[in-house]
Every structure is written in structure tokens, then in C-alpha cells.
Chains A and B, each alone.
Chain A
């Protein structure tokens, strides 16, 4: 299967700051990657689909101006949480989708906003 890395694995920041999370596909070209968010004891929720060379598509209820996604290369997608607030504290996970429906997930980034 594919190997996906994320950086950082955890981050603590002050309210109002912006945080960038990187998602890299190490062994496959990724034209499409997905960003999920998981709050404690809840299911993973798809936030957006990241498309290489074009704009991301966001799920209903996800603010595109707050969660900026950039997918400028076939191996890297970034998610920037702008002006983070405590309610943005969550586990953010990216995934790579290959042919078929299987997705390969990154190890996740745990964000804590103070």
C-alpha cells in the first residue's frame, strides 16, 4: 500500500495563530488527497478533497477561508488552519486515494489551541 506522512504529528498553538499541516505521499503520485477531522469519541468527518493543481472542494459546513488547502505538487498537500480557536482543537488526518475505494491514511496531526 501507499505510505503517507504528516507533519507535524502534534502542535500546540495560541488562539488566533495559524497552523500549517503537511501531508506527503511518499511512494505514489497523488492527484487527489482527502482531509478529515476527528473530535474525541466521534467519527472521522471529511472536510475537503484536495486536488492537485486546482481548488479544493469543501464539504458542507466547512469554511474554505478558514481551512486553506494547497495541493501544488503530486506529493504534497497542505492544510492551514487560519486564526485557530480552541474549538478547532482536533485530530486532523489526510489520506491518499488510489484506484478503487481504498484510502491510505497519514498518521494524523493532533492540534491543540490554547
Chain B
């Protein structure tokens, strides 16, 4: 089983739609959680950290359920510029700075 699993998509949604991505992780001792965004042939960029209490940044909302080892990202009012691959990332046990990446979920927002 992969350490971090995501639905690869692609998710094709019209502009203005709300879309949700899910992610599960296998190591219950994982400590920190993030969503990164990666554009085609580019480096990943931090979108937001994910906390148990849930957190929101504009149109983006992230949730963490430690009991279920489940992370989600909700994007409201999708824009064309949101088209990218969204990577679910966790830190490894005992090595807080080592990131483990999921394979990513591809989002394509269309007119």
C-alpha cells in the first residue's frame, strides 16, 4: 500500500464549480500535512497546510481527520487558473522535514 494515496483523476469541471479532492495516508504517526500544487513541468508549490481543526484560505478549504487518516481539499468557485495537479503531502514519522508525496490529482477547469 502506498504511503499516500490519491485519486489521480483527471477531474474535469466547469468554471465556477466546487470540487473536492481526497487523500488517505497509511502511517498513523504522520505529523504534518499539506496540499501542494504542481503545474505541468514545474516544481510543486505549497498551497496550504492542513490542520485537524480545518482551515480555509479564500476559496480553498482543507480538512484533516486523523482517526480516519484522511485529508481533503475543497475548491469553491473554480477558476481556469486552478487547473493543475494537486499533491497531498505528509511528513514522515520522526523526520519532520522529510516529505512524502502522493501521486497527485489532476484538475482541469474548463469554460
Enumerate chain A interface residues (CB-CB to B < 8 A): 32, 34, 41-46, 49, 91, 93, 97, 101-103, 105-108, 110
Which among A43, A49, A102 has the greatest number of chain B C-beta atoms within 10 A?
A: A43
Q: How far is the CA of A97 from the CA of B49 in the complex (A)?
A: 15
Please name all residues of chain B whose beta carbon is closer than 8 Å to the beta carbon of A45 when the two chains form the complex. Answer: 101
Do residues B104 and A43 form an inter-chain contact, with CB atoms below 8 A? yes
Contact call B46/A102, Cβ cutoff below 8 A: yes
| Alpha-carbon distance A106/B42, docked complex (angstroms) | 9
A93-B43, A105-B45, A108-B43 known; A43 and B4 CB under 8 Å? Answer: yes
What residues of chain B lie closer than 8 Å to A106, measured between beta carbons?
A: 43
Partner of A101, one of B8, B34, B41, B45: B34
List residues of chain B with CB within 8 A of the CB of A110. Answer: 41
* A107 and B42 form a contact (CB under 8 A): yes
Q: A44-B44, A108-B43, A110-B41 are in contact. Are A101 and B96 (CB under 8 A)?
A: yes
Interface size on B, residues (CB 8 A): 23
Q: Is the interface of A mostly helix, strand, loop or mixed?
A: strand
- Indicate whether B59 reaches chain A with its CB closer than 8 angstroms: no
Q: Are B97 and A44 in contact (CB under 8 A)?
A: no
- Complex: A91 Cα to B42 Cα, angstroms: 9
Nearest B residue to A97 by beta-carbon distance?
B97
Are the C-beta atoms of A103 and B97 separated by less than 8 Å? Answer: yes
Please state if A107 and B97 are interface contacts (CB–CB under 8 Å): no
Interface contact A108-B103, CB-CB below 8 Å: no
Q: What's the minimum C-beta distance from B83 to chain A, rounded to whole angstroms?
A: 17
Q: Is B72 an interface residue (CB 8 A)?
A: no
User: Can you list 7 pairs linking A and B with CB atoms under 8 Å apart?
Assistant: A41-B8, A42-B103, A43-B87, A44-B87, A101-B31, A101-B97, A105-B45
